[in-house]
Amino acid sequence: MAKKRTLVGLDIGTTKVCTVVGEVDEDGDVHVVGVGSAPSRGMRKGVVVDLDSTTRAIEEAVDRAERMAGVKIQSVYVAVSGEHIGSANSRGVVAVSRGDREIGEGDVNRCIEAARIAALPSQEREIVHLLPRNFIVDGQDGVRNPVGMYGNRLEVETHIVTGTSTVLANLLKCVQRANLEVEELVLEPLASGEAVLTPADRELGVVLADIGGGTTSLGIYLGGGLCYTAILPVGGHHVTSDIAVGLRTPMAEAEKLKLRHGAAMASVAAEGELIEVVNIGDRQPRILPRRILCEIIEPRAREIMDLIRNQLRLVRAQFRVGSSSPVMAAGVVLTGGTALLPGLDELAAGHLEMPARVGQPDHVSGVVDAIGSPIYSTAVGLVLHGARAHTKSRVARASNGVGMFGRLRIWLGDLFGGG
């Protein structure tokens, strides 16, 4: 019988903690066998603000997933988010060491190390990912895997994602306190991208926007590789609070109204559609046109799109890409719970002037009904990321950030005495 590995994704989001258990076969195909969620109360804008509540939510979500999958979870891939995340692009250059000029794994690793040293973050920051985007052999770029090729000079362009050490340590501490080992930290939009994007999207150029409860995380791919990441501190929670203030209704009621009747564009609401709104401190509910609710949501949805558009400007300037250039030809893929707002894709397409679609988890089999919502993109993507790390070549594995995370683990050991 073919050997299978069990890999687990743990997404500690601002609104929910979610665990997805996948069985991965030798070809790297993922079969989801368990899912567990629990409300998250100890997170703000993607970072831990309450260790105890977050630890409890992790335990609950893991327990539920264990029951469904019938397995004991020991180690997890954990998603990272929050405004503290920074990213930069760095270049490494080395001379090929072998006499016959055939490039070996050692040359590639030295080259990536050179890029890492060039972008060495300050004492307070840790590298979360060091992702090679492009290898250049003797001036020829676009090389995906240079091992085995002949050349004198090897260069690499990398995308480096860093985070504040203490913020990452707090996240790891919660996971460790829930008696779980951390396989790897994975940036939220990178994980979500694994679940909702296709290789063609990445090749054509695509903007992945995971709009959750407290954050909007962006991952921008050009020419196949991730070249820009940013986490913006705004999400569905802001929409709910606008509704609560605008309609003078409790937050819980505002959330219900948003899920049942909300839309990102007021024009989605038909004339004469009515909704019932509970008043604060008053028993008698009001009847209002649905359009009023949508008119409250639309400016916030537009604000989120404005923030994304500003980031796109930065990317275009950095990579000298014209706004009419087709390099982001696959457009924007929206995921995360807020992507479920009807009309958000249409609003995004108009505002960002590019094609837009909503992406939900794909590329897996198993209990797909249980994970078939954009809410699960990150957790499913973590399992896919893990599966890819297990099946890809040793060269690629050496450069996927595991080494750097190892250092953070040692650092954590120093700080917390091992847990």
Q: Does 197 bind ligand ATP (CB under 6 A)?
A: no
Nearer CB in complex with Mg ion: 193/212:
212
Minimal CA–CA distance to 85: which of 46, 120, 44?
Answer: 46
Of residues 34, 36, 212, 343, which one binds Mg ion by CB under 5 A?
212
| Listed ranges 10-18, 267-275, 306-314, 361-369: which one lies at the site for ligand ATP (CB under 6 A) | 10-18
Q: Is 215 in the site for ligand ATP (CB under 6 A)?
A: yes
Nearer to ligand ATP, 235 or 359 (CB): 235
Alpha carbons 63 and 329: distance in angstroms, whole number: 42
Angle between helices 251-261 and 236-247 (to 10 degrees): 110
Question: For residues 114 and 125, what is the distance between their CA atoms, to the nearest angstrom?
Answer: 18
Q: Name the binder of 338 from Mg ion, ligand ATP, none, CB < 5-8 A by kind.
A: ligand ATP
Dihedral angle over CA of 53, 56, 60, 65, nearest 10 = 100
Which among 128, 46, 42, 48 is positioned nearest to 83, based on CA atoms? 46
Give 104 or 250: the residue with its C-beta nearer to ligand ATP.
250
User: Judged by CB under 6 A, which stretch of 67-75, 115-123, 125-133, 253-261 contacts ligand ATP?
Assistant: 253-261
Distance of alpha carbon 339 from alpha carbon 335, whole angstroms: 5
CB 94 within 8 A of CB 154: yes
Burial of 88 (0-12, 13-18, 19+ CB in 10 A): middle
Nearest distance in Å: CB 241, ligand ATP: 10
Least gap, CB of 75 to ligand ATP (angstroms)? 21
Binding at 311: pick from ligand ATP, Mg ion, none (beta carbon under 5-8 Å per type): none
* Of 103 and 168, CB closest to Mg ion: 168
Pick the binder of ligand ATP from 214, 359, 361, 386 (CB under 6 A): 214
Is 127 within 8 Å of 134 (Cβ atoms)?
A: no
Burial environment of residue 318 by CB neighbours within 10 A (0 to 12, 13 to 18, 19 or more): exposed
CB of 295 to Mg ion, least distance (A): 27
Number of residues binding to Mg ion, judged by CB under 5 A = 2
Q: Rounded to the nearest 5 degrees, what angle is found at the Cα of 227, between the Cα atoms of 78 and 26?
A: 50
Binding of residue 235 to Mg ion (CB under 5 A): no
Kindly give the pairing relationship between strand 206-211 and strand 332-335.
parallel
- List residues bridging with 76 in a β-sheet: 182
Which one of 16, 84, 110, 129 is in contact with ligand ATP (CB under 6 A)? 16
Question: Is residue 236 part of the contact set for Mg ion (CB under 5 A)?
Answer: no
Bridge partner residues of 384 (DSSP):
none
Q: Which stretch binds Mg ion (CB under 5 A): 119-127, 160-168, 212-220, 232-240?
A: 212-220
Does the footprint of ligand ATP cover residue 54 (CB under 6 A)? no
Interaction of residue 343 with ligand ATP, rule CB under 6 A: no
Q: Which of residues 74-113 bind ligand ATP (CB under 6 A)?
A: 81
Partner whose binding site includes residue 130, from ligand ATP, Mg ion, none (CB under 5 to 8 Å by kind): none
43-44 and 47-48 as β-strands: parallel, antiparallel, unpaired?
Answer: antiparallel
**Which of the residues 261 through 320 are near ligand ATP (CB under 6 A)?**
262
Token pair recorded at residue 136: 């250049």
> In the beta sheet, which residues pair with residue 187?
80
Q: Which of 13, 36, 219, 361 binds Mg ion (CB under 5 A)?
A: 13
Judged by beta carbon distances under 5 to 8 A according to partner kind, the member of ligand ATP, Mg ion, none in contact with residue 331 is none
Q: Dihedral (C-alpha) 62, 66, 67, 70: value to the nearest 10 degrees? A: 180
- Confirm or reject binding of residue 13 to ligand ATP (CB under 6 A): yes
User: What would the two tokens of residue 30 be?
Assistant: 């993922």
The site string for ligand ATP over 366-395 (x = CB under 6 A, - otherwise) reads ---------x--------------------
Burial 98-114 (b: 16+ CB within 10 A, else e): eeeeebeeebbbbbbbb
Q: Which of 61, 296, 340, 348 is in the footprint of ligand ATP by CB under 6 A? A: 340
As a whole number of angstroms, the distance between CA 259 and CA 66 comes to 29
CA neighbor of 334 nearest in space, from 355, 303, 311: 355
Shortest separation between residue 251's beta carbon and ligand ATP, angstroms: 11
Question: Minimal distance in Å, beta carbon 163 to ligand ATP?
Answer: 14
Residues lying near Mg ion in the complex (CB under 5 A) are found at: 13, 212
Residues lying near ligand ATP in the complex (CB under 6 A) are found at: 13-16, 40, 46, 81, 212-215, 235-237, 240, 255, 258-259, 262, 336-338, 340-341, 375
